[in-house]
Amino acid sequence: MPELPEVETIVRSLKYGNAGPGLIGQRILRVRTTWPRHIEHPSPSTFRKQIKDRLVEDVSRRGKYLVFSLDVGTLLIHLRMSGDLHMTPTDTGLGPYEHTRFELENRWDLRFSDARKFGRIGWYRDPAAILAKIGPEPLDDTFTATLLQDRLQSKSRMLKPLLLDQQFIAGMGNIYTDEALHRSGLHPLRRSDTLNEGETEALWRGIRNALYDGIRHNGASIDWVYRGGEFQNHFRVYQRAGDSCKVCGTTIQRIIVGQRGTYLCPSCQPEKAP
């Protein structure tokens, strides 16, 4: 699933026109879909009416959501497991997974490619009903080590599942959680309310550094779903089971935490009793 750095990379591409014209200032003529279940809100017929002739005023991100501010209402797109968004000339033939496309006035399309069809699209007059449920943005200035400490102490959960909880912190997924925990020297089974101030500071820095590194390398491309990223060439632990830790040389291990494959260095991230 695309995580915060992958979504941020897509936002920047659409906003600044890295692969085609920028989306800001473009008018949506119509939307066409061969998979109506992409449309989560409102009904597909109402969605088509509401999106017709809307002007795109801004493109941003909230957690893993792409947020398109329109002259009326807001378009939200969640890529889920296999989604990707890209600009393509309208007269270009459809790819096998391009189930939904927004035709623009400049004769380009914003196309939603989604092999597994788990992605979701919605138009909202007020997106707060959706976005307010998401936790703090880990790269915002307001996300401090003190705030993280308070939130960790308010829970009594294993670190890995807690960091994956989008209501606890926005945008983290399997890749960047494993990478952040390695950077911070914390075991994924460690209970959140046992971290001291220094360990929380290390986790705060680990989260931000892992995400910044991911964005710097345009995210991670680990299969055919997400294109163009290079962060997979810089993983410390993720999908490196059996390889040597780049910090200490210990063999990277893979365990299951909360039904998720999880990668760690047993030397850099010793398991401590709660």
Assess contact for 142 and 136: CB atoms under 8 A: yes
For residue 224, give the nearest of 124, 97, 60 by alpha carbon: 97
- Spot the catalytic one: 3, 8, 98, 179: 3
Tell me how crowded residue 116 is: count the other CB atoms within 10 A of its CB: 11
Q: How far apart are CA 248 and CA 234, in angstroms?
A: 16
Q: Which of 54, 64, 111, 236 is catalytic?
A: 64
Cβ–Cβ under 8 Å, residues 35 and 103: no
Measured from the Cβ of residue 102, the count of other Cβ atoms closer than 10 Å reads 26
DSSP per-residue string spanning 192-240: GGG--HHHHHHHHHHHHHHHHHHHHTTS---SSSS-S--GGGG-SSTT-
- Based on the residue annotation, tell me whether 270 is a catalytic residue of this protein: no
Q: Is residue 40 among the annotated active site residues? A: no
Residue of 2, 5, 161, 188 marked catalytic: 2
Catalytic residue chosen out of the listed positions 155, 157, 208, 260: 260
Q: Is residue 64 among the annotated active site residues?
A: yes
User: 90 with 108: CB under 8 angstroms?
Assistant: yes
Active site positions, annotated: 2-3, 64, 260
